[in-house]
Each structure stands twice: as C-alpha cells, then as structure tokens.
Amino acid sequence: MPAAARRAAAARWPLPPLLAGSAALHAAAAGTALLSPAAWPWALAAVAANHLLITAAGLTPRSALLGPNLTRLPAASAARGDFAITIDDGPDPEVTPALLDLLAAEGVRATFFVIAERAAAQRALLRRIVAAGHSVQNHSLHHRHHFSLLGPRALAREIAGAQARLADLSGQRPHCFRAPAGLRNPFLDPVLHRLDLQLVSWTRRGFDTREADPQRVLARLARQPAGGDILLLHDGHARRTAAGQPVLLAVLPPLLARYRAAGLQPVTLADAVPRRHAPH
C-alpha cells in the first residue's frame, strides 16, 4: 500500500459494528416514534437495551465490541511460543527495584504499563527500567478511578498527556495502551486510533492487588500455559502476603518456571506487537 494511502487509512477511524448498529437503531427508534407515536415505549426500550449492551461491553475488559482489543499476542508470536509478562500501576519505589532485580536474575524482559504521573515522580527508577531492556507502555496519566466515565476531550488529555510525558522521560514512545482496570467507553477507541495506540488487555490476570495468597494468584496465571498468553501482574498497588512480601515477587519465579517447562519464552510487547497503523 502506498504511503499516502496508508496515511489516509490511518486517518479514518473504523466505526465498530456495534456502534454502527447502535446509530442505526437510534435513527430507527426516532423514526418509529415520529411515525407511530403509540410505539414509543417499544422504541425507548430498544434504545435502553442498546445502551445497556454498550455499557456492558465497556465494563468487560477483554471485549472487542467497542474497538480492537488485544487479549493475546499476534498469531506469529504465539506460534513461536512467546508469552508476555506485563506489569501495571508502577513504578513503585519499594516494589519495582526488587522486581527489576528478580527479572535480571531470571534473564527476563517484561512490559511495564506505567502511570505517567508516578513515572515523573520516579524518574531514576523509570530510567532503570528502560536501561534493563524492558518495554514502557501507556497506562494513562493519573489512573483515574472514573476513567471509563470520561468524555472524548478528557480521555485525550489523559492519554496524550501520558504519551508526551513517557516519551520525554523514557525516550520510548509507547505504542500500547491499557485502560485503568480495563474499563472503558465508546469514546476511547477514536482517541487511541488518533494517537496510534493499540489497546492491550490480557489473557490471564492474577488479581494480585487484592489476593494475598500467592498460590491462588499462581493458579489463575499458570493454568495450561500457552503461546500467545499476556499475563497481568502489578508492582503498583501490590498486595502483600502474610509475611509482608509483595505477592508479585512471590508468584513470578514459579510462574516463569511453569511457562518455561511448557517450552515457552517471554517477550515484550515492543517486540511482539506492531504499531496500530503499521504498514501491511
């Protein structure tokens, strides 16, 4: 595809089928209410059901109904036996240094979905992450709890602001984004499209921000390891074990051992996932 055609294609946001159908439904409901006033309760019920479906899609982190959402590594990477360790919500001044030591001892490179505000407060730590060969990706500017309720302008400020800050701090321009808690709304994908960001969720999550038992977290993450798995753990907001150790640090060594025993090898998203507007 010529460069000009690629740029034109990238400029057009592909409306997801659910949202295209939603627009058609709203138009049909309005027309029905105008042409047949007695049918307005049915038209209203159809619109309400449609809004419930859109809301449910946004509250389902692995759903692709609101736009592209990577829940596994691309097919070629999966076929090679790759899997990805992704670490959210840092950098944390206590947990992240110990995690980096552990990853270095294991010879593993991971992907850090960092909160840009935290990265700005931990510049030396972010530089250490980059120097160790790990990938730094966008997990928003502030990790707002009401992220999924933000409108288009607020989402753009939150995500573009993180892009600019992380590029400046790390020297890497992220090409992947993970929504806080994985929750979103229909306004997110147009922003990601414009910023050339790929939405990435996960294949498996350990719930290590609320679960204090490493064995339970490990069981969730290591059940039937497979090529293409994207695993979610946390250095920020990390839960502690009964002995006071961050759950992440207790889980990671046996988790890596199980994946390696299955003949799989860890990769970063920077190596495995192309940019959203990469030429085909």
pLDDT-derived band at 69, boundaries 50, 70, 90: very high
List the catalytic residue out of 143, 175, 193, 234: 234
Is residue 218 a contact partner of residue 251, using CB atoms and an 8 Å limit? yes
Can you give the pLDDT at residue 154?
98
Tell me the percentage of the chain whose pLDDT exceeds 90: 82
At 118 the pLDDT is: 97
Cα–Cα dist 214/217, whole Å: 5
Minimum mean pLDDT range among 36-45, 123-132, 225-234: 36-45
Distance CA 189, CA 206 (A): 26
Residue pair 91/126 in contact by the 8 Å Cβ criterion: yes
pLDDT of the residue at 42:
83
pLDDT: is 22 or 182 the higher one? 182
Contact 149, 123 (CB under 8 A): no
Rounded to the nearest integer, the mean pLDDT of the chain is 93
Residue 234 appears among annotated catalytic residues: yes
Is the pLDDT at 218 greater than 80? The verdict is yes
Average pLDDT over residues 107-131: 97
* pLDDT in the model for residue 270: 97
pLDDT of the residue at 1:
39
Q: Is 274 a residue whose pLDDT tops 90?
A: yes
> Coil, strand or helix: which one is 144?
coil
Say if residue 122's pLDDT is above 50.
Answer: yes
> From the candidates 82, 88, 208, 235, which is the catalytic residue?
88
Tell the CATH superfamily of the 75-272 domain.
Glycoside hydrolase/deacetylase (3.20.20.370)
Interval 7-35 mean pLDDT: 80
Give residue 233's pLDDT band: very low, low, confident or very high (50, 70, 90).
very high
Distance CA 154, CA 150 (A): 6
The pLDDT, as a whole number, for residue 10 is 57
CA distance 155 to 192: 9
Q: Output the pTM of the full model.
A: 0.92
Rounded Cα distance, 171 and 167, in Å: 5
Give yes or no: 88 in active site: yes
Helix or strand holding residue 32 (H, E): helix 17-35
Q: Give the span between the Cα atoms of 273 and 280, in whole angstroms.
A: 13
Q: What is the pLDDT of residue 280?
A: 53
pLDDT at residue 45, as a whole number:
86
- By the 8 A CB rule, do 180 and 145 touch? yes
Give mean pLDDT, residues 156-170: 97
pLDDT higher than 90, residue 40: no
Q: 11-20, 129-138, 267-276: lowest mean pLDDT where?
A: 11-20
Give the whole-number percent of the chain exceeding pLDDT 70: 96
